[in-house]
Structure 1
Amino acid sequence: MSQNIKVYKGNIVFTKTPKQFTTLENGYIIVENGKVKEVTRNLSKHYKNYEIFDYDDKIIIPGFVDIHLHAPQLPNNGLGLDKELLPWLEAYTYPEEARYGNMEYAKKIYPKLIKDLWKYGVTRSVIMTSIHKETTELLIDLFIKSGLSAYIGKVNMDRNANKEVLEDTKTSIKETEKLIKKYIGKSELVKPILTPTLVPICTPEIMKGIGQLAKKYDLPVQAHLSENRTAVEWVRQLHPEQPDFGSVYNEYGLFGQQPTVMAHCIYTTDNEIKMMQENKIYVAHCPHSNFNLASGIMPLRKYLNLGIDVGLGSDISAGHTLSMMSTIVSAIQASKIKWVEDSNYDPISVSEGFYLATKGGGKFFGKVGSFEEGYDFDAIIIDDDNLYDFNKRTLEGRIEKFIYTGDDRNIVERFVAGKKIEEPNF
């Protein structure tokens, strides 16, 4: 028998496409070298002598994927949410991020962030940190130790922000390259990503430099796009030579020339949407944040209909929780309000919301977020016994009930790339 094969039994739920759950009661997932080999109802004789990890009546689903969050903002969860984006940044975000020049402070916060992601079953994340290279390195090292997977990027910002978080342009680019050289190729699960966080707080010089690094080292990019009407107008004033927000990023090689996540995307123009399609931009939908800061409602159905890849982001601390279950519900609710406003935008279904939190965001990592053949076995095990109402439910009904009424206490085990991940002990 191969030591590289594992067999898991339970009630299996995943989505191959957004429109429909794939479910299998009392099914088996065969995993070889950390990747899904087969999902089957009947185990072949070939596997009869392997140890079977039997989860009885529990549910096995792909691990959740959060493709937009700000690591330094964990202490601000639930604070300042009566403000809009730009005043909120000045009053809350920048003062908090300034603290991460202090290694001892970062050592208090970053381990808790990773433990909270583990707690909520978030097995993969796309993360922005602060301007500070040393504490960004701390977060990367902690993630590598934890066994969870992430893209992690030191932010770049050299204008139009509180002075405590502004960088010298050349120094920012040099520090970013040092971080890249230290961590590129170091881990299969934790990798650097370039982070020119927002056009109005990045000069053309720094965007050009970061775009060159992305190309030189073949690295992905993350940033914010068209989140707020005031921000869109601000970009127009700063860059009258460009037709829109996305075109500024595009000018500097930061808009799909490398794999790119753009967060929010609420007020995108037709030109931006065309570029997003052509350049295969990933959209991070952050409904909690969009509600909390009164930014607006993203036209999610439009992106899905156009075949643009969309995943979900908690966007802490503009979003107030790392729970992907809560974020799924918020995305569904936002789509319903959008439909009430404009009947051209059909609401999304529960299966579509689930897809966004698993395979939709997982695509940014490759074959992640599903139990199809060849996908990494990222999984969480759900014990929903306390959610029963004593009526027999389908697996679709049970997962819907978990998404709407369950919490982290229903998640009993987590796996990343075939490895069981215990609670991080820092």
Structure 2
Amino acid sequence: MPLTRKAYRAAILHSIADPTEVGIEASYEYFEDGLLVIDDGKISALGHASELLPTLPADIEINHYQDALITPGFIDTHIHLPQTGMVGSYGEQLLDWLNTYTFPCESQFGDKAHADEVADIFIKELLRNGTTTALVFGSVHPQSVNSFFEAAEKLDLRMIAGKVMMDRNAPDYLVDTAESSYVDSKALIERWHGKGRLHYAVTPRFAPTSTPEQLTLAGQLLTEYPDLYMQTHISENLKEIEWVKELFPERKGYLDVYDHYQLLGERSVFAHGVHLCDEECARLAETGSAISFCPTSNLFLGSGLFNLPMAEKHKLNVGLGTDVGGGTSFSLLQTLNEAYKVMQLQGARLSPFKSLYLATLGGARALRLEDKIGNLQPGSDADFLVLDYNATPLLSYRLKQSNNIAETLFVLMTLGDDRTVQQTYAAGALVHQR
């Protein structure tokens, strides 16, 4: 047996399907006294402790947690590395907010020392909050992506990132050109894509900040490297949508701009989608594209309420995004707290098991990585969390009143935050301990 074999015993819960498609009861597996066995960074067994313990060698190391829940690592399908230093900036809606806060903050990332420092803080924040995989926007500077991937590689994290492509409608100090964005992206792809557990995402910021020439080259990169990701923003804010119509009068709508430049596909993730129509949802689903639902950001910037039931009707893949710095927390637990309220305001329900799905398996499906992350099935990467029922006095007291795992899960998502995450494991290695 390899020396890296370890076992973890606690209550264990993971999603195995979308509750909207199969019903709540068939959507998850829960082991009140469970055992997770890890071999060489992969999950080799999952089940009831009483059944698995007799099959293990006597000398195996078993970590036994009381009053804790093991879940898959969380997956953040939309977040901005260079906005870490401006999270919680006051008083603007999207377009003014970009000019007032975001662009000046992003201007510093050509400097390696600064990019390295923020990448370190950013990754520590992700892991402290239980996020083991994220789809990350860099800045326009290649250095932002190099610094991030260097830090992620040291910890063998499964991360996806890309350099922002932005050649118009931004300050002079922050634009590239269509050609330079193509050349820089290509060099980053050659260096990082597929190295360890790292993947590259072609990243036009959003339609208004890219010329047709740049969008054409973004589409060309996706053709040249068929397993790349593509990330951008769509239909976040009503003024933004009007602006897109003015800039691209020949296209029939915002999504059609991206469709025309061949940016839709199975690894394409569009952030927000607050104001999508039925036809656009159907087209996204048809092409296998995904939406990142970013509730804290949509509330904070006054953008609107994402219509999850409409996305579900079209069987559109949806993941969850914190969207830091428009979003106000790295915590996907806090993000789910806000997601529940966004649904409430529309007269819709968000069950705790659908929430778990969005933060784990749903995110993995949006990224086409459900065979590797997002659940605890044997063969998956050993990216998992230990959530502490006694993380705060109120949480501890409240959970003593809980009657079942559904209630416990909902309370964790309502009262929980970074303090709830006792340990974070990536590829079987402990990468955060509270």
Query: Which TM-score applies when normalising by structure 1?
Result: 0.92
Q: Distance in 2 between matches of 1:56 and 1:393?
A: 17
Q: Does 1:118 align with 2:127?
A: yes
Q: Distance in 2 between matches of 1:290 and 1:174?
A: 33
How many pairs does the alignment contain?
A: 415
Q: Distance in 1 between matches of 2:239 and 2:402?
A: 50
Distance 1:150 1:127, change over 3 A: same
Q: Does 1:330 align with 2:332?
A: no
Deviation at residue 106 of structure 1 after TM alignment: 2.0
Q: Does 1:287 align with 2:295?
A: yes
Deviation at residue 54 of structure 1 after TM alignment: 1.9
What's the secondary structure of 2:410's corresponding residue? helix
Aligned runs of 1:342-421 on 2, under 5 Å?
A: 346-363=348-365, 364=367, 365-367=369-371, 368-385=373-390, 386=393, 387-389=395-397, 390-391=400-401, 393-421=403-431
Q: Distance in 2 between matches of 1:309 and 1:419?
A: 30
What's the secondary structure of 1:126's corresponding residue? strand
Counterpart residue type for residue 12 of structure 2: I
The range that moved more, 219-228 or 54-63, is 54-63
Per-residue displacement from partner, 1:207-266 (whole Å, max 9, x unpaired)? 11111111212211000011111111111111122111111111112111x511100011
Distance 1:134 1:395, change over 3 A: same
What's the secondary structure of 1:338's corresponding residue? coil
Distance 1:84 1:391, change over 3 A: closer
What's the secondary structure of 1:152's corresponding residue? strand
Counterpart residue type for residue 397 of structure 1: E
Per-residue displacement from partner, 1:69-95 (whole Å, max 9, x unpaired)? 010001111113x21111111111111
Per-residue displacement from partner, 1:286-306 (whole Å, max 9, x unpaired)? 011111111111111111232
1:15 is aligned to: 15
Q: Is the 8 A contact 1:13 1:23 kept in 2?
A: yes
Counterpart residue type for residue 47 of structure 2: T
The range that moved more, 201-210 or 398-407, is 398-407
Q: Is the 8 A contact 1:224 1:263 kept in 2?
A: yes
Deviation at residue 134 of structure 1 after TM alignment: 2.1
Counterpart residue type for residue 216 of structure 2: K
2:318 is aligned to: 310
Q: Distance in 1 between matches of 2:44 and 2:214?
A: 44
Q: Distance in 2 between matches of 1:99 and 1:36?
A: 40
Structure 2 gap segments, 5+ residues each = none
One of 48, 58, 61 as aligned partner of 2:68: 58
Counterpart residue type for residue 17 of structure 1: A
Structure 1 gap segments, 5+ residues each = 340-345
Q: Is the 8 A contact 1:126 1:152 kept in 2?
A: yes
Q: Does 1:24 align with 2:24?
A: no
Q: Distance in 2 between matches of 1:184 and 1:391?
A: 48
Aligned runs of 1:96-107 on 2, under 5 Å?
A: 96-107=105-116
Query: Which TM-score applies when normalising by structure 2?
Result: 0.91
Q: Distance in 2 between matches of 1:331 and 1:250?
A: 28
Per-residue displacement from partner, 1:367-409 (whole Å, max 9, x unpaired)? 2111234332211001212422244642332222222112222
What's the secondary structure of 1:78's corresponding residue? coil
What's the secondary structure of 2:360's corresponding residue? helix
The range that moved more, 198-207 or 102-111, is 102-111
2:163 is aligned to: 154
Percent identity of the aligned residues? 30
Q: Does 1:254 align with 2:263?
A: yes
Q: Distance in 2 between matches of 1:164 and 1:335?
A: 40
Q: Distance in 1 between matches of 2:301 and 2:314?
A: 27
The range that moved more, 224-233 or 370-379, is 370-379
Q: Is the 8 A contact 2:300 2:326 kept in 1?
A: yes
Q: Is the 8 A contact 1:66 1:125 kept in 2?
A: yes
1:244 is aligned to: 253
Per-residue displacement from partner, 1:267-294 (whole Å, max 9, x unpaired)? 1133321211111111100011111111
Aligned alpha-carbon RMSD (Å) = 1.9
Distance 1:69 1:298, change over 3 A: same
Per-residue displacement from partner, 1:123-167 (whole Å, max 9, x unpaired)? 110000101012321111011113332101000000111222111
Q: Distance in 1 between matches of 2:185 and 2:401?
A: 55
Per-residue displacement from partner, 1:10-68 (whole Å, max 9, x unpaired)? 10112223433432111112334433333221216332533322223321011111110
Deviation at residue 418 of structure 1 after TM alignment: 2.6
Counterpart residue type for residue 382 of structure 1: L
Deviation at residue 199 of structure 1 after TM alignment: 0.4
2:218 is aligned to: 210
Q: Is the 8 A contact 2:270 2:292 kept in 1?
A: yes
Q: Distance in 1 between matches of 2:202 and 2:433?
A: 29
Q: Is the 8 A contact 1:115 1:423 kept in 2?
A: no
Distance 1:269 1:397, change over 3 A: closer
Q: Is the 8 A contact 1:118 1:423 kept in 2?
A: no
1:298 is aligned to: 306
One of 169, 179, 196 as aligned partner of 2:188: 179
1:342 is aligned to: none
Q: Distance in 1 between matches of 2:413 and 2:122?
A: 22
Q: Distance in 2 between matches of 1:107 and 1:373?
A: 35
Q: Is the 8 A contact 2:75 2:132 kept in 1?
A: yes
Deviation at residue 108 of structure 1 after TM alignment: 2.8
Deviation at residue 349 of structure 1 after TM alignment: 1.2
Q: Is the 8 A contact 2:278 2:310 kept in 1?
A: no
2:175 is aligned to: 166
Counterpart residue type for residue 370 of structure 2: G
